[in-house]
Structures are given as C-alpha cells and as structure tokens.
Amino acid sequence: MVKDYTNNVTANATGIGWEEAHKRAKAFVAQLTLEEKAKMVTGVPGPCVGNIEPVERLGFNGLCLQDGPLSNRVADYVSVFSAGVSAASTWDRDILYERGLLMGKEFKAKGAHVALSPVAGPLGRSAYSGRNWEGFSPDPYLTGISMYQTIQGHQAAGVQATAKHYIGNEQETQVCLSTRENRIICLG
C-alpha cells in the first residue's frame, strides 16, 4: 500500500504561529511549476555548496547554503576561525558567541543565506577520527552550550544556522551498513 502524503502537513512544528506559516508555505508551493519544484529540492549549480534558484515571478530570491565548520568554505579572502573543539575548550560563552557572530558576518558578506554550521559531533571516541576538530566536545552539556551560543551568533549576523552532525560523524571510512533487507545505509 502506498500512502498519499500530498495533502498532509507532516512537519513537526509546534507553537503559536505555525498554522499561518504552513498556510503560506502551502499557498507558495501551489503556485510553483513542476520544474520549479524540482529545482528547489535538487538545487542548481552556483557559488555555494548548495544553491536554490530564484523564482522571481513569486518574489523568491533563492538561497545560497554555504558549508564551513570554521570558515566560509570555497571562498577567497575569508578568515579561518578556531576549530569547534578549541573554542569550546575555553568554556567561555562570550567567546563562543563572538566566534559564531563573526563567522556569521563573513558568511553573510560572501552572499550566504544559510550557514551549514555549527557541528555537534562527533563524540570523540577515537583520537584517530578525522572530524573531532569540527565538533565542540564529547561532553553533551558543553556541546549544547557551544551550539546555542554559535547559533545565536550566526543568526544575529543575519544568516540562518544549521545545526548538523548529531550522529554518524564519528569516522571517515566504513560509514555504509548493509541491512537484512539488502539496503545500504550510509551515515557519512
């Protein structure tokens, strides 16, 4: 049996005001052509690691999603900030906020709307993990504080933050698993 999801609002959004947001989003999507919908979910080539083409007839300016756990990736003349693990080791909320704010300002200055940052993981279970530097700490409290301060800084600078890599960012190799149903699941 195939379930029809086309008329259901499935986002797990709660709180005051989401009803209006869902109504506006549904009205916007109803005006898109099939080609515009495809480009919106698959992206188009552009200056960022993720680019959503504008739909000028509807007043949508497009989106530029740029990666970089410590700098604006794929850009010239940008700063490189302290790695997450280094910033968190200070246990200083003001430093974490300022780092997020300054990173956010550079993302915005380079044209990004969405910063694919900050990184929550990995847990740091192995010193050989190639990604330990991206995250803040194996301590969940410190990671939570660091994520919060960084996100507040990014968003105060006018870019949307994207909290990422909560899980599955622990290793560089053998990140794909086989299931009993002969499906391949890749975590990285």
pLDDT one-digit tens code per residue, 23-45: 999 999 999 999 999 999 999 99
The predicted pLDDT at position 2 comes to 46
Domains, the chain: 47-186 (3.20.20.300)
The answer to whether the beta carbons of residues 186 and 154 sit under 8 Å apart is: no
The length of the chain in residues reads 188
Residues 114 and 165: beta-carbon distance below 8 Å: no
Burial of 54 (0-12, 13-18, 19+ CB in 10 A): middle
Instruction: Say what the pLDDT of residue 174 is.
Output: 65
pTM over 0.85: no
**Given this model, what pLDDT does residue 3 score?**
45
CA distance 114 to 72: 11
Q: How many helices and strands, by DSSP H and E, does the chain display?
A: 5, 6
d(CA 63, CA 40): 9
Residue that the structure tokens 């780092």 belong to: 99
Going by C-beta distance under 8 Å and a sequence separation of 6 or more, which residues neighbour residue 77? none
